[in-house]
Chain A
Amino acid sequence: MNLKKSFYLMDRIFLLFMLMVILLMALFFYVISLALNQGTSLFLLLFTFLITIVFYLSYRWIYIPYKESNKVLRLFADGYIFKGVFDLRVHFNHESFLAMQKFKEIIDTKELIEGSKKHAEYLALQNQINPHFLYNTLEGIRSEAIIEGVESIANMTEALETFFRYTISDMDKLATLEEEISNVENYCTIQRFRFGEKINFKIECPEDQDREVFQAKIPKLTLQPIVENAVFHGIEPKMGEGIVTLKVLATPRRLLITISDNGVGMEEEHVHLLNDKLKGASLTYIKKDKKTGGIALLNVNNRIKLLFGDEYGIYLYSKAGAGTDVEITLPLILEEKR
């Protein structure tokens, strides 16, 4: 455990307190000397100067950090931040710093990640079917379809099987963006059997963008739940052709993925409410009724924030009748780091 090198807040208060005591003592001596000699006011000027410094330091060293720390604790209590609370600029004292570190260990984000991951699986499957039983059945259907020469059924079954295998296998791993996109394409293939040409999927990437960006690591099942949301809540209720566009843009530090649909969009207040929820990380949504909406977004957002920190996550732009843009911000990881 690393010890903080700077003074703790309580140490600073103590130091300043001692300084004030010394000044008071000095004042005491000054009064004595004044009484004895009826001397000059030079000492008084010096004393005033020192008092000014003390007040200034009290403001900069105590008041401001105290206010800042309080603000961070308040934001944590309000659900705005999660990891940020463990990284106060100035801790109250050494013990509170140690206690915070311990608290961090006890809470350990792993549990939350686990909860979040399980929920993602649940969302993906939507039921409790044994996956291996499902794979075998799908494989069986595919074989029958090939034997009978019904290619469309064989293709659909293959897409479904690939999709389930990817969805359920090894949730701990980070996947490459390419794998994630491939899973989304698979998902769209399956949906196209249902919706026909109503659903179109496009990928956009700036021409000057390095292709290496598709090898960037991102949490598994980040894109598919959002595309699914776009299909079911955006495009399905809409008349006419629906387009889901995935835009990829990388900066030296961040990977920006925007999933846009030209669907029915959302009411302003709903967008505002969702964006407010997306600011922080919490698992309260799991307990709530699924019908409140936006669970997939909150789930993906939570996993991103728990894995990479509060500065990453999801932001939503939407307007009724104008479609929805979901902007996902991730760190750019070109080698797997856990």
Chain B
Amino acid sequence: MKEEILRIANVTRILDGITYLDNINFNIFKGEIMGLIPLDNHGKSQLIELILQNVSIHFGRIYFDDQLVNYYEHSSMTKNRVYLIDKETNLIQDLRVMDNICVLNHTFHDYIIRDKRLQKKTDELLKQLGIEIDTEQYVSELSLIEKAIIELIRAVANGAQLIILNELSNFLSIEELSFFQKLLLYYTKQRISFLYMVNHHEEAFKICHRVALLEKGRIIKIIQEKDYSEASLRPYILSFTHHSVADEQNNQAGILKYQNLCTENLKKINFLVKKGECLTILDMNNRGIQDIAEIINGFLPPVSGKILVGGKEIPWAKERNLLLNGVAYIPENPVPKTLFYDISYLENLTFLIDRKLKRSIIGKKVLRSIKEEYRALAGAEIEATDLWRLEMKSLYNLVYFRLLLYKPKVVFIMQPFSQADMYLRGRIIELIKMLKEKEIAVVILAVSISDTLKVTDRLLIMEDGKLAPSSHQFKDLPSFVPGYQE
């Protein structure tokens, strides 16, 4: 007989007049990995908050481990034995691994910290899982996967019965994710439950026992493992149109060329990207693409090698150099990093235009002309005096429209679909296609394959900082990329 760890029954949560959770119903059994695919991100963070802590709800009941912990009449504000793992680590960066696991723990009641005892205990825990991490290392020195593993171990050691995993594939590479999933399966045998939040059903279908779809704050479907198929999901998801790759391959000369580029994590990187082409670099173990991004941003000098744009070598100096030579960069989750909320839409849109026109004062006629040109794309939002009231989709439009206007030769995009819901992912695909139509070369830096295949023309696989010998058309992919299903 299956036992429930969490049961959410008819829960409605309204905050400031907005219904974030609307009569939602679902349960998680002990030892189960329950997938949750938020189709539009509405209510997702409120749901996480509600599971972690028994905050006030408008209606419904929440049972944790068969006990009524929260209901419409009284919310105790107590915390449940639930742990959240996402990109932002909850570990204390300036403490050692063993301190994080053993000392920052509800079960630790000693007055004196005995290092030897802690180390022995932590080593045993890691040994059980076959993990080799130096337990005396500081958390700040760990990689993202190591931090995630330590968080998982810490959660279990802390007595968490349910662990929420928030979009692991946004920060773990395919290899790392695969390893982490093995750990999850190990812990399910110990009756630990997981709520696996993920944007891509392919990933959820691989590991989850059931998958729930969340849309507009409602659970609209729960799919059982035996019903996992593209067909069962098709009525619920947007179909992104596939790009016909081979036919559109152009034979123009390369617009950007990396020649024997080396850094600490990159080993003799050679690639070439053509006008209007979209190239994806899939980093299997999340080591090299960060270095590529840092070189573009001027934070990291290459040890050796050249970057050629339009056949001309670009000396590495500062970010400005690359931008002036037509290389732009869109960071992961670009909205808060690249937009200015207090200035107008038009000012944001024309932010880089002074560099393009090489003058610091832009005439009214030019601005008016830009405004009219982009009104067709942005609509009435172009008149917005600030960005505070714009939706996420409009803000993403602005990030990409700015580059359409600047028209660089190459755009590097770091993890374009990170943290984006299904509707936003569809829009990002359209925006990348718009860049390509303007003959801008696009290089996507990614750790998970996900929707990049909907827009990419060529894929390069990077493993341990080295690029695989030949590139792949995405029609070849299912045979060698884990997690991809046609």
Contact = CB atoms under 8 A, between A and B. Distances in A.
Q: Do A and B come together as binding partners?
A: yes
Interface of A: 68, 71-72, 75, 80-81, 84, 88-89, 206, 208-210, 213, 247, 249-254, 265, 268, 272, 275-276, 279, 311, 315, 317, 319-322, 325, 327, 329
Contact of B66 (A80, A208, A253): A253
Contacts of A311: 9, 61
B46 interface: no
Interface in B1-59: 1-4, 9-10, 22-23, 25, 29, 59
B219 interface: yes
A77 to B, nearest CB: 13
B222 interface: yes
B72 interface: yes
A84 B221 contact: no
Nearest to B233: A322
Contacts of B29: 251
Give the top 3 A-B pairs by smallest Cβ distance, nearest first: A322-B235, A315-B25, A321-B235
A213 B2 CA distance: 12
**Residue picked from B10, B222, B232, most chain A C-beta under 10 Å:** B10
B388 interface: no
A320 to B, nearest CB: 7
A81 B73 CA distance: 11
A272 B73 CA distance: 23
A72 B72 contact: yes
**Residue picked from A72, A251, A253, A325, most chain B C-beta under 10 Å:** A251
A204 to B, nearest CB: 9
A12 B23 CA distance: 35
Contacts of B25: 315, 327
Contacts of B218: 272
A311 B71 CA distance: 10
B220 A317 contact: yes
B73 A84 contact: yes
Contacts of B4: 251, 254
A279 B59 contact: yes
B191 to A, nearest CB: 14
B73 A89 contact: yes
Nearest to B222: A317
Given A319-B220, A325-B222, 14 more contacts: A75-B72, A89-B73, A250-B2, A251-B3, A254-B4, A272-B23, A275-B23, A276-B23, A311-B61, A315-B10, A315-B25, A317-B219, A319-B236, A322-B235
9 contacts: A80-B72, A208-B2, A251-B1, A251-B29, A252-B3, A275-B23, A319-B235, A319-B236, A322-B235
Nearest to A262: B232
A320 B59 contact: no
Contacts of A268: 220
Instruction: Tell me whether chain B's interface is mostly helix, strand or loop, or mixed.
Output: strand
B368 interface: no
B236 A252 contact: no
B74 interface: yes
Contacts of A75: 59, 72
Nearest to B25: A315
Contacts of B59: 75, 80, 279
Contacts of A321: 235
B72 A325 contact: no
A265 to B, nearest CB: 8
Contacts of B2: 206, 208, 249-251
B214 to A, nearest CB: 12
B71 to A, nearest CB: 9
Nearest to A320: B235
Sorting the interface of chain B by its residue count into under 10, 10 to 19, 20 to 34 or 35 or more gives 20 to 34
Contacts of A247: 224
Contact of A71 (B1, B23, B66, B73): B73
Contacts of A320: 235
B1 A252 contact: yes
A96 to B, nearest CB: 16
A251 B9 CA distance: 15
Contacts of A265: 235
Contacts of B235: 265, 319-322
A72 B72 CA distance: 8
Contacts of A72: 72-73
B66 A252 contact: yes
B1 A81 contact: no
Contacts of B219: 317
Contact of B221 (A71, A88, A89, A322): A322
A317 B74 contact: no
Contacts of A71: 72-73
A88 B71 CA distance: 12
B1 A209 contact: yes
Nearest to B10: A279
A279 B236 contact: no
Given A251-B1, A279-B23, A315-B10, A81 B72 contact: yes
Nearest to A253: B66
A329 B7 CA distance: 12
Nearest to A275: B23
Contacts of A329: 9
A133 B219 CA distance: 47
Given A75-B59, A311-B61, A317 B221 contact: yes
Contacts of A213: 1
B23 A68 contact: no
B309 to A, nearest CB: 49
Contacts of A322: 221, 232, 235-236
Nearest to B22: A272
Contact of B73 (A88, A208, A327): A88
B1 A68 contact: no
A71 to B, nearest CB: 7
Contact of A319 (B22, B73, B221, B224): B221
Contacts of B61: 311
A325 B22 CA distance: 18
A68 B73 contact: yes
A325 B222 CA distance: 9
Nearest to B2: A251
B411 to A, nearest CB: 37
Nearest to A279: B10
Contacts of B10: 279, 315
A200 B4 CA distance: 31
Nearest to B212: A317
Contacts of B1: 208-210, 213, 250-252
A314 to B, nearest CB: 10
A209 B23 CA distance: 29
Contacts of A89: 73-74
A325 B72 CA distance: 26
A68 B74 contact: yes
A251 B3 CA distance: 5
Nearest to A315: B25
A253 B4 CA distance: 10
